[in-house]
A and B are shown apart, each in its own frame.
Chain A
Amino acid sequence: MLLLILSSTAYLTGMGGAISPMERPENIFINPASISKRIVHITFYRPFNIEDFYKGDLYSSFILKGVNLGFGLNATRVNRGYTRVISAIGIKYGIFGVSLSQKYESAPASKSFILNYDWNAGIRFSLRGFAFALSRERLGFGFITSGGSLSFETTPDFKKFYAGVEFIVNRVISGSAGWMNGRPAIGLYLHNPRFDIEMGFLTNSDLGETTIVSVGWRL
């Protein structure tokens, strides 16, 4: 289990965003068949250090009687008035997974909110270190070893491409580099048996850098 956590890619913290082949809790939005085992992740960042622009994520997945269950929350707050919260619940059994999400938006001018529902379903299977994942959102492929991992991912229309490589230095430190939304990203991870800290840097030649901090607990 530790190996799986260490070798999984980090969605927002520098691994290039290629996560659907990996067992990460963030996958609840991308491929529910790839939600990971028992972990909680909290992430916070300000995109490109823009004033009054905040993003945060909370992901959790756990196992109940052999079934993986997941919960995800993705919140955005902009200009002290607009709020967007996407929440999702998911279930994975064997190689199949489904999730249901809802989007809540509120804007001050209209004093109203919008509520949208969406669903996702996917499969993930692995063989001798290779992992394949297919869902409504992504098509992914990964190769995982004890020394690190390689992962590639694309959208069904092939318009977006994500790639990442992770190096596991030891049980405490790992690093990653990737390609996400056409931009390079790097990440640094510190682990102990129950706790992870991830720091990622996304670079954008037009808008500057985004620093992302994520913390995780193993349940």
Chain B
Amino acid sequence: MRKFLVLSSLFTLLLYPETFHSIQIDGENDFSPEEAVVIDNANDSYWSSQNELDTLFLTWNAETLFIGCSYTLNNNALLIFLDTETGGIDNANGLDWYPRDVRFSGAKPDFLVALWNCDLSLGGIRKLGENTSPVSYRGVNSGSPGEKNFLEVAIPFEVLGNPQKISLTALICGGDYAGAGDVMPDDPSVRGSGSAIINIFREITIDGDGDGVPDSLIAPVDVSKTEEYKVSFPEFKSVYIRPDIAQTGPVTIHVELTDTATLTVALFTEEGRFLKNVIEGLRTDFIEYSWDIHDLDKGIYILKFYTSENRGMLKKAFVRY
């Protein structure tokens, strides 16, 4: 009976691989199907089958997190954003490394795995913040541009801050400051052009009992779920220009936001022709700006208020007479 139990347990383990599972970082895909935490829809890329995400794998042992990704890429970038619940960014366009026109709502990624055109030596893994910083990892990418590729990386949990949960999203993006052509898990904000606001992430619970040690005997797919967050960004609370009809200065531009954001105030002619930015890329949640209007000709102007975190904008008219 005891022999039967041991054999059946071994048989179960072979059929259903569970953590702890150590992955050989050699470019060969030895993740199991139970470690395929996201399987992307086939042929759903906006940029043809040459730039297509396939499957995202994840597993771990006691000390290391292993991430694998199968994909096809041609002259573009693969980016895997990780949120480990310790701060993070909400706009990848402001990064000093692999900046892309991708924003985040709900989860705030704090690590990025990136490569360019199937070449990991042109990328790597960095911790995200105002300045990015490289972290210790092992990784290999196998394959060539335009063909099926497999990327696998191993990151020590110590580097990641021993998280209880990790949220992931993987994207194929163009060059610096460009948008995304494919994403997994699927997110409707990725449309092949323009800004994307990612609010759908795959969340994997690594330390469910909260004992500070990654859980063992777990099939990662069983502790994975797709989280869809509400898209919410800082909004304008109050905006006014005093006075809004003026002959001479000073003119006060008052802006109050619901949260800190990167504010720009742009000046346009009455016909809608852009003239200049009065305030450009200022991180703030409240400002009373003294605007010098001496260099303005007499006429009607339009001021556009917007933040880089939000697609919404506010417009006000101003008259210098």
Contact = CB atoms under 8 A, between A and B. Distances in A.
Nearest to B321: A107
B321 A207 contact: no
B274 A206 contact: yes
B319 A78 contact: yes
B247 A109 contact: yes
Contacts of B317: 50-53, 78-79
Interface in A94-136: 105, 107-110, 114
A217 interface: no
Contacts of A181: 271-273
A200 to B, nearest CB: 14
Interface residues of A, number: 27
A47 B270 contact: yes
A107 B319 CA distance: 9
A207 B304 CA distance: 7
Contact of B300 (A49, A76, A182): A76
B321 A182 contact: no
A111 B304 CA distance: 28
B266 A206 contact: yes
Contacts of A47: 270, 272, 302
B245 to A, nearest CB: 5
Contacts of B316: 50-51
A183 B270 CA distance: 14
Contact of B315 (A82, A114, A207): A207
B273 A79 contact: no
Contacts, number: 66
Given A50-B315, A51-B316, A82 B302 contact: no
Nearest to B241: A79
A204 interface: yes
A193 interface: no
A167 interface: no
A109 B246 contact: yes
A111 B229 CA distance: 53
A182 B313 CA distance: 22
Given A50-B316, A181-B273, A206-B268, A79 B245 contact: yes
Interface in B200-248: 243-247
A182 B247 contact: no
A19 to B, nearest CB: 16
A82 B321 CA distance: 9
A109 B243 contact: yes
A44 interface: no
A161 interface: no
Interface of B: 243-247, 266, 268, 270-274, 300, 302, 304, 313, 315-319, 321
Given A51-B315, A107-B245, A109-B247, 5 more contacts: A48-B302, A51-B316, A53-B300, A109-B246, A110-B321
Closest 5 pairs (CB-CB, A-B): A204-B272, A53-B317, A82-B319, A79-B244, A107-B321
